[in-house]
Each structure stands twice: as structure tokens, then as C-alpha cells.
Amino acid sequence: MCGIIGCVGCGDQTLTTLVHGLSKLEYRGYDSAGVALVGDDGLQVVKKAGELDSLRGELDALEGVSGTLGVGHTRWSTHGPPTDENAHPHQDCTGDVGVVHNGIIENYQSLRDELESAGHTFESDTDTEVVPHLVEEGLEDGLDAEAAFREAVSRLDGAFALACVVAGSDAVLVARNDSPLVLGIDDGATYLASDVPAFREFTDRVVYLDDGEFARLDADGWRVSDVKGETIEKSVETVEWDAEDTGKSGYDHFMLKEIHEQPRALRQCLQGRVDELGGTVTLEELGDLEPDRIHLVAAGTSYHAAVYGSQLLQADGVPAQAFFAHEYASSPPPDTDALVVGVSQSGETADTLSATRTARRHGAETLALTNTVGSTMARECDHVCYIRSGPEIGVAATKTFAGQQTALNLLTQVATPGPSDRDVIEALRELPSDTQEILDESNAETVAEELLDSDAYFFIGRALNYPVALEGALKMKEITYKHAEGFAAGELKHGPLALVTGNTPVFATVVGDGELARKTIGNVKEVEARDAPVVAVTDGVSDVKRYADHVLEVPDTHPRTAAILANVQLQLVSYYTAAKLGRSIDKPRNLAKSVTVE
């Protein structure tokens, strides 16, 4: 996810403050960085592709880059590759307007066509660049900087956090819609950032912006207003500098933030590993590994990812099996021809560490599939594959489960003899945007509200959607404390059907219109006949909607990635159910983020 930093009132420390803020945003993932400063010499913009050190080197090579206010940005590529031209900030034709942006402007192409027809020249491939040109249009029409910025924002569709500076103006102008922004309030200075750590060394007083709000930061302080320009009274909160108490980016809970970080996390997982044009997947860290069979060992959410991964591998002809790590360690010694894959978000899960250690003692080759660089499992195993999801603070795993599923897709492509599956590669490349579509359009909150008083929740699925059912039930029970169970859909009639009542909703994941979908629809009819509310998680290809009381849509895609998308919808249902029940979502009772005891 891109990062924004801005400041007013820092005097000759403005540039230093911006670069410091960018360094605190590096954890979010990025491929370019830049700053824009306004001073006596007008607007100065410096930006470079690559890591922050590249920007520092460029700034050191230049003289006179200074200003009394400014903005900075770390970019994660969406529209256009990571180049100097595509790095933020972006400018207008006159060079007087600078804009940084997080999110996606959905109608940028039509705006760009309109602006180019009016004579504007574009320098980048990004969606962001339309914004400074729209501001330029407003300025040419006689509007002041703030009015021109507001007019530009009114033309935009999509999710965005925007910060704009204009030569000759003494303000940083800000707007938020579905992308986090927070202000930092200090005596004589005001800061703006995507997340608190960017300015936390300077102040512990913050103001979280909400969707549809604007802010103006100038020498006199700060002001927040609505789309009509009317002032909104915002409370100034004091944050503690403990890492577990900061960094929510305006979201109510870390879990919700981390659910919404999944598009960025998935891009990070895929970056540099998938070549859609060449039709290849590369995991350089695995070298030329060609396992005869694979054993996946894990616990909890990671076990559900392991079940999903084992099914992927089996479907492509690689003998594979998923094991509970705590059972594997005490089972007969593993076949030394098997590659033993320890799946663990933290890389410190005691059960999984015990399993991989047992495997190594018996001569098996091991691979750690983890999120945590430098973790014990990563250090001890023969190979390591990082899922690159970024920090996850919420105890209930969300983005790391999606990262595990995605990484296991990559592992399957590498481990399978023969060429990679181009259809799968195409679906993986679309996965981040498909996930964002769900986050933008999901009706999960409404479904959660209508089913809030249920006695229990059942989740069913077949094949790749069976582990999705298991994970959907686990999330529900972890954070809501309500009874929830996941079943292979075909098992429903072999016992669990006895528990189905009119107050036990059944979540059925049905994608495509093949034999598995038709059989699952048969299971849906079974519970419908017993008056159970049915929630269909579906791409709409089959006719399951006609039997459902509620529908959670997923984009039409490959069945392998559809299972990842279905899980996102179920995460949201669990989150909103827990929120409406007033549960301790980020720290559910009796649970820990990293389980370090067996």
C-alpha cells in the first residue's frame, strides 16, 4: 500500500521531516518515492524509482531543495511500472500543482481523454496524474487553490487519499475516500500521513479523517470540512506509542485494516514472481527444487491454507498431503523423499516448528512458508518462501491467510512438471484487483446484521472451497464467540444435518457451474428444505442464487483464486458480526497471535 506524509510549520526542517516520514512508511511496501515542497522558489518536486536511498541520493545531488510545507509519497505500482515518471508526486502542465495519491481512480481514463482533448500533456501512466491537471483547470477558471482542489475531487470516482500543494499557496490540501489518512497535531506544526508511525516521533495527538472529509493544513493550524465546505468538529486523540496500539490508519480495528490491506499484500506476494507475458512463475529462493511428494504441516488458519495447498498440488499431479503439525511430530517418521513444508504466519508456531524439526532429524528436506523474515522456522528450514503480507497485528489472521493461499498457488506452479498454467497465472495477476472489488462492493455488513441472532453458523464447500468453509467457521468462532462449524458439503447429510434449524444459517461457497457446483446446490436444497437461511458465496455462474436468502458476490475467475476471494467475503461477515456484538476483535479471549507452546 502506498504511503503519504505531509507537513506544515516545520520551517527549515520540512524536507528532513518528509524524508523521515517516508522511512517510517517503508514497511507498507513500495517501489518509488518522492517529495514536493513549496517555498519562495515555487514548487519543487524530486522523485525516484527504487528504494528511499535512491531519493536521498538524488536530493543530496541537488542544491536548494527546500520549502516551508510539503508532501511525500512511497508508491506501490498499480497503473504503470515503477519508473521515475510514474513516481509521485505528479504535476500539472504548469508545474505549479503537486499531488500525491493512495488508492485507485476508477474513471481516470475518461478524465484523461477529456483533459488531453483540452490540450493537457501527460508524463506518466498513472491514474493519479489526472488530479493535478483537474486542479490546473480550476485555477485557470479563476478558483483559488482550495476551491480548485475541491472541484477536482468532485470529479473523481474510486478510492483515494489525496494531498495537494500549489505554488503560491500556504496550505496542504487533503481529501479522503475509502483510503486512510490521519493528521498529527503539534504546537506550531501539523502533519498528515497514511499511518501514525510516519510522524509519531513528533507528536502523539492525532485526528483521524473519515470518508468524504477534506482538510486544510496551513500556518494557522488545521481545519476539517465536508464536501460542502462546512467545518466539521473533530476530536483530537492521544495515542500510545506501543506498536500494538498504533497504526490502525483510521480503521476501528487492526483486523478490518488488515482485511482491507489484502490487495496490497497480494501484490507484494506476486511481485517479481509471476510473468504473465512469459507464462512463467519463478520462486528464486527455491532454486530447482523438484520434490517427489510434499507434506504440508501447520496449525489453525495455516492448516486450512495447507489443506488448500495440498488440493492444488494433487490436482496438478504432485502427491501431497496436509497434516496437523501437532500430530505430524508424533506420527511415524516422514518419508525422506518428501519435501516437508511448514506453513506458519509467524514462523514461530511451536507445533509447526516441532514438525519441521522432526522431519529434518529424519533426513527430509524442509521449506518454511512464512510471513516473518528472520523467524526461527525461516532460519532453520532448508528453504524459505516469504508470503510478503506485511505486519499483521490482529490475532485473527486475515491477509496472511490470503497470502499463504497465493504463495501455495505459486509453489504449485513451480513444483508441477511441465509449463505453468497460463489461466492460473492470469487469474493470479487479477487477484489483487478482484479482492479490491469485493472490499468496495461487499454487502457483508448487511448480511451480518440480518443474521446476528443466529444460534450457530455452518459453512460448507467442496474441493478447494472446503478449506474456505473451515476458515470461515474458524474466523466466526474466534472473534464472535458464536458456535460455528465448517464441513465438506457432501458430509452434511451424514450427521451435521441433524443440527440444521431455522436459526442456523448455512454459508455455501459455489463457484462455476460444473459438477461440484451442482452437487453443492443439492446440499443447499437440503438445508433450504429445513428452513435454514442460506447465504450463497458465488460468482453467479450457477443458479444457486435462486435458492439463497442472501448472496455474497465474488468476481468470475479461475476456481483456484475464487476460493481466495470467497474467503474475503467470509472474513467481512465475521468481522461485522463481531463488531455488532461488541467483541474484542483484535484480541479475542484466550487466543494469541503467535502460539509458541505445544
Asked whether the beta carbons of 372 and 330 are under 8 A apart, the reply is: no
Is position 48 annotated as part of the catalytic site?
A: no
Amino acid letter, 568: V
End-to-end CA distance of the chain: 35
Spell out a b/e string for 460-484, using b for 16 or more CB atoms within 10 Å of the CB, else e.
Answer: bbbbbbbbbbbbbbbbbbbbbebeb
Q: Tell me how far the alpha carbon of residue 457 is from its chain's centroid.
A: 26
Catalytic residue among 2, 7, 164, 269: 2
Asked whether the beta carbons of 163 and 174 are under 8 A apart, the reply is: yes
**Among the listed residues 345, 266, 339, the one whose alpha carbon sits nearest the alpha carbon of residue 304:** 345
Is position 519 annotated as part of the catalytic site?
A: no
Asked whether the beta carbons of 431 and 555 are under 8 A apart, the reply is: no
CA distances from 384 to 297, 314, 326, 343, 381 (A): 14, 22, 21, 10, 7
- Write out the three cell numbers for 592: 494469541
d(C-alpha 122, C-alpha 459), whole Å = 50
**Among the listed residues 381, 403, 383, the one whose alpha carbon sits nearest the alpha carbon of residue 392:** 403
Mark residue 178 as left, alpha or beta (left: phi above 0; alpha: psi -120 to 50; beta: remaining).
Answer: left
CA distances from 335 to 234, 291, 338 (A): 62, 12, 6
d(C-alpha 271, C-alpha 300), whole Å = 27
- How big is the CA angle at 302 (ends 300 and 308), to the nearest 5 degrees? 115
- Write out the three cell numbers for 235: 476530536
Mark residue 477 as left, alpha or beta (left: phi above 0; alpha: psi -120 to 50; beta: remaining).
Answer: alpha
Q: Write phi, then psi, for 188 (nearest 5 degrees).
A: 85, -5
Number of Cβ within 10 Å of residue 10's Cβ equals 21
- Write out the three cell numbers for 354: 516441532
Asked whether the beta carbons of 73 and 4 are under 8 A apart, the reply is: yes
Dihedral angle, C-alpha 527, 528, 531, 535, nearest 10 °: 90
**What SS3 state is found at 525?**
helix
* Alpha helices, H only, 498-592: 515-528, 559-581
- Write out the three cell numbers for 302: 495455516
Residue numbers annotated as active site: 2, 593
